[in-house]
């Protein structure tokens, strides 16, 4: 049974879904844009059935109690501190980490900078930051795929999205396989006061920089769909050069960017298989 609770980290309060035995190895699942913790519901149940304690928060900008107005409040160091602080509050000094999209970017950065905290790393869609930065510089097709990064940093981006009631964003995620009912749940969160502003602040504060991100030593699973509209093959394949530990790269044929929504059972199986191979006493 999934329990929803609030976790206080510093000045902010985060809405968190959690399930599984209290003594199970902890798994932190970080959502991306424009999704929320709702995206992980199938994985929460699947992980709990296998004895893991699964934790899925709404991150900064998505939780109503964690929407600071200043753009620099969304700098990477604050996002990392949020994630680690939540696991500290739950008494999990070491844990498995799973991330998708911006949650995947954050997962790579945590693995690179806080390797002592991780039992394993699983990333969906988002390549290693250095691989992504290189592909953006060398591959014109990747730069075009990532044009939304530039658009979201424009001064009028938030106003235009609110005026359109997120219509273009709705069309984009539906085209990438997100079921309509789930799309409405995600977009309803963004339409809350401060929601779009918080989500856009991830782009405004962090951009797509990351060329200097160190390689990752944690046992890593990276999953990419070959129909991903925002991440091309070049960035995905370059990721292998930035993992020094055990590494598995899985390509899902015909899958788009939102793998969890599109193929929830397949994603759950891949994550659980990876975790079961890497679990030690937390």
Whether the pLDDT of residue 82 is over 90: the answer is yes
Q: What is the arithmetic mean of pLDDT over 122-146? A: 86
Whether the pLDDT of residue 21 is over 80: the answer is yes
Whether the pLDDT of residue 148 is over 70: the answer is no
DSSP 3-state assignment of 220?
A: strand
Share of the chain above pLDDT 90, in %: 82
pTM over 0.75: yes
Helix pair angle (102-113, 76-89), 10° resolution: 80
Q: What's residue 279's pLDDT?
A: 64
Q: What's residue 210's pLDDT?
A: 78
Q: What's residue 207's pLDDT?
A: 57
C-beta separation of 226 from 253 below 8 A? yes
Cα–Cα distance measured from residue 235 to residue 31, given in angstroms and rounded to the nearest whole number? 20
Cα–Cα distance measured from residue 70 to residue 104, given in angstroms and rounded to the nearest whole number? 23
C-beta separation of 17 from 59 below 8 A? no
DSSP 3-state assignment of 54?
A: strand
- Alpha-carbon distances, residue 205 vs 139, 200, 201, 257, 278 (angstroms): 24, 9, 6, 23, 34
- Residue 282's pLDDT band (boundaries 50, 70, 90)? very low
Range list of H helices, the chain = 41-49, 76-89, 102-113, 129-138, 140-145, 147-152, 157-163, 167-175, 180-190, 195-206, 233-238, 259-262, 264-278
Whether the pLDDT of residue 151 is over 80: the answer is no
The domain segmentation of the chain, as residue ranges, is 3-278
DSSP 3-state assignment of 16?
A: strand
Q: What is the arithmetic mean of pLDDT over 89-97? A: 97
> Which residues face 251 on adjacent strands?
224
Q: What is the arithmetic mean of pLDDT over 195-223? A: 89
- Alpha-carbon distances, residue 195 vs 86, 140, 153, 248 (angstroms): 21, 32, 15, 35
Q: How far apart are the first and last CA of the chain?
A: 22
CATH topology of domain 3-278: Rossmann fold (3.40.50)
Average pLDDT, the chain: 93
Cα–Cα distance measured from residue 183 to residue 249, given in angstroms and rounded to the nearest whole number? 28
Cα–Cα distance measured from residue 212 to residue 119, given in angstroms and rounded to the nearest whole number? 23
């Amino acid at each position: 049974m999934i329990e929803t609770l609030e976790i206080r980290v510093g000045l902010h309060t985060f809405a968190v879904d959690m399930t599984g035995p209290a003594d199970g190895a902890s798994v932190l699942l970080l959502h991306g844009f424009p999704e929320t913790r709702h995206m992980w519901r199938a994985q929460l149940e699947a992980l709990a059935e296998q004895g893991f304690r699964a934790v899925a928060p709404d991150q900064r900008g998505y939780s109503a109690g964690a929407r600071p107005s200043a753009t620099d409040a969304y700098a990477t160091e604050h996002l990392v501190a949020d994630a680690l602080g939540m696991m500290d509050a739950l008494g999990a000094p070491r844990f498995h980490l799973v991330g998708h999209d911006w949650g995947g970017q954050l997962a790579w950065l945590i693995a690179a900078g806080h390797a002592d905290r991780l039992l394993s790393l699983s990333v969906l869609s988002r390549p290693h930051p250095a691989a992504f930065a290189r592909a953006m510089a060398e591959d014109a097709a990747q730069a075009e795929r990532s044009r939304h990064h530039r658009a979201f940093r424009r001064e009028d981006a938030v106003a235009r999205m609110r005026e359109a009631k997120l219509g273009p964003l709705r069309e984009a995620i539906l085209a990438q396989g997100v079921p309509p009912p789930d799309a409405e749940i995600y977009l309803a969160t963004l339409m809350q006061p401060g929601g779009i502003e918080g989500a856009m602040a991830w782009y405004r504060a962090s951009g797509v920089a990351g060329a200097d991100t160190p390689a990752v030593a944690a046992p890593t699973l990276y999953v990419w769909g070959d129909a991903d509209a925002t991440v091309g093959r070049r960035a995905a394949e370059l990721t292998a050069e930035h993992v020094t530990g055990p590494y598995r790269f899985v390509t899902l044929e015909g899958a788009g960017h939102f793998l969890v929504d599109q193929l929830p059972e397949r994603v759950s199986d891949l994550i659980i298989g990876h975790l079961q191979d890497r679990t030690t006493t937390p």
